Amino acid sequence: PEMENAGFFYYTGLKGWLYWFGAISAIGLGSIPAQDLMQRMLSAKSEKVASYSSYWAALLYITVGMLPVMIGMIYFHINPDLGLEDAMNKILIFTAVDYLPPILTVIFVSALVSALMSSSDSAILATASVIGNNGSKYVKKDISEAQSLKITRLFVPIVTCAALVLAMYFQTIYNLMVIAWSILLVGLFAPYAAAFFWKKANQIGAISSFFAGFTAWIASYFYFLPDTMAANVDVAPGISGLHFDWAMWDALYIASPLGLLASIVTLIVVSLATQKTDVPKPLRDITGDILPTINWRGIFTRGHEDHTGHLTADELMHDER
């Protein structure tokens, strides 16, 4: 059954589970294959530092990341008559202005803008560098590093303008972030994770997984859209009739777990069916050596590392055997 005027709790049963799993996994799993995260991982001085840093980052993500969420919930509880647009995008600013001294308000807003700019430039550079370094090789296989760099620089302003257009049209920051991670969830998470943990994953399986997950996500979106449209009629004071933006976001959330499932199933089936025509390739480092998987869990194992943070020669030989 479905409850009227229940907000996020409108959806129950299977749709309710899909809604909440989609909203949580989009951030929890969808952000894993994001390139800006990999930029920070690959900049670590050793494998050990990268592994430990990931666990510390996860802990901080849960604790520090909950602070603005709790602040928003408390402020909205104190000010229940807050306008809809203000409630979605401006609560942190209002909280600082109402409850902090002017000097601390300036510091807080400056820090907030700094964090936004830092995240924005990482996302812009990540997208442009993927196009310049990876995408350009499909057009010209023997492209030089100088040409690749020029393409990357060219696409920095293009990506910036595209992001600006999206931000102007979809004005809810949270929804934009979740949808961006949902695309990664349904298309990239399964092949990315399989590359580390499943030796039979191959290129054809990964590409098929991406298209299958994305296609299933879009198809499921249109399937659930009539239900979410019915759930978003007269949903807030001052809004009469259908609020299509919310219906669209809800349908995308509910559809994302099905896209992920299709991506995983397709990856397994296609990879197993094409083992002979597309032989799986092992992970290699920048020098071409095969990467071991002995200490991939980092903190939970006791792999012996040398002073550079790499596994010792004895462990490499053991892993190859």
| Inside any domain, residue 252 | yes
| Inside any domain, residue 319 | no
Q: Is 309 helix (H, G, I), strand (E, B) or coil?
A: coil
| Inside any domain, residue 183 | yes
| pLDDT in the model for residue 151 | 92
* Count of domains forming the chain: 2
| pLDDT in the model for residue 185 | 92
Residues 276 and 246 in one domain: yes
| pLDDT in the model for residue 294 | 54
| pLDDT in the model for residue 301 | 46
Residues 144 and 185 in one domain: no
Structure tokens at 44: 């670590």
| pLDDT in the model for residue 86 | 62
Which of 129-133, 153-157, 166-170 is predicted with the least confidence, judged by mean pLDDT? 166-170
Residues 144 and 180 in one domain: no
Query: Do residues 253 and 26 lie in contact, with contact meaning Cβ atoms separated by under 8 Å?
Result: yes
Residues 224 and 190 in one domain: yes
**How much is the pTM?**
0.76
Q: Which residues contact 262 (CB under 8 A, 6 or more apart)?
A: 186, 212, 213, 215, 216, 217
| Residue 167 pLDDT exceeds 60 | yes
For the segment 182-238, what is each residue's pLDDT rounded down to a tens digit? 889 999 999 998 988 888 999 999 999 999 999 999 999 999 999 888 887 776 666
Q: Is 290 helix (H, G, I), strand (E, B) or coil?
A: strand
Which of 80-84, 135-139, 210-214 is predicted with the least confidence, judged by mean pLDDT? 80-84
For the segment 273-320, what is each residue's pLDDT rounded down to a tens digit? 999 898 988 887 777 788 765 555 554 444 444 444 444 444 444 444
Residues 183 and 287 in one domain: yes
Residues 160 and 211 in one domain: no
Structure tokens at 136: 């350009």
Q: Which amino acid is at 79?
A: N
| pLDDT in the model for residue 272 | 94
Residues 187 and 249 in one domain: yes
Mean pLDDT score across all residues of the chain: 80
Residues 206 and 276 in one domain: yes
| Residue 241 pLDDT exceeds 80 | no
Domain that holds residue 189: 9-35+173-295
Residues 150 and 203 in one domain: no
Question: Of 115, 141, 171, which residue constitutes the final position of a domain?
Answer: 171
Query: Do residues 302 and 310 lie in contact, with contact meaning Cβ atoms separated by under 8 Å?
Result: no
| Inside any domain, residue 95 | no
| pLDDT in the model for residue 255 | 93
| Inside any domain, residue 66 | no
| Residue 171 pLDDT exceeds 70 | no
| pLDDT in the model for residue 195 | 87
For the segment 93-130, what is each residue's pLDDT rounded down to a tens digit? 778 888 888 898 888 888 878 877 877 887 888 888 88
Higher pLDDT: 151 or 83? It is 151
Q: Which residues contact 287 (CB under 8 A, 6 or more apart)?
A: none
Residues 248 and 286 in one domain: yes
| Inside any domain, residue 29 | yes
Query: Would you give the DSSP letter of residue 289?
Result: P
Residues 212 and 287 in one domain: yes
| pLDDT in the model for residue 1 | 38
| Inside any domain, residue 56 | no
Residues 192 and 220 in one domain: yes
**Residue 68 binned pLDDT confidence (cut-offs 50, 70, 90):** confident
| Inside any domain, residue 260 | yes
Residue tagged 């399937």 (tokens):
223
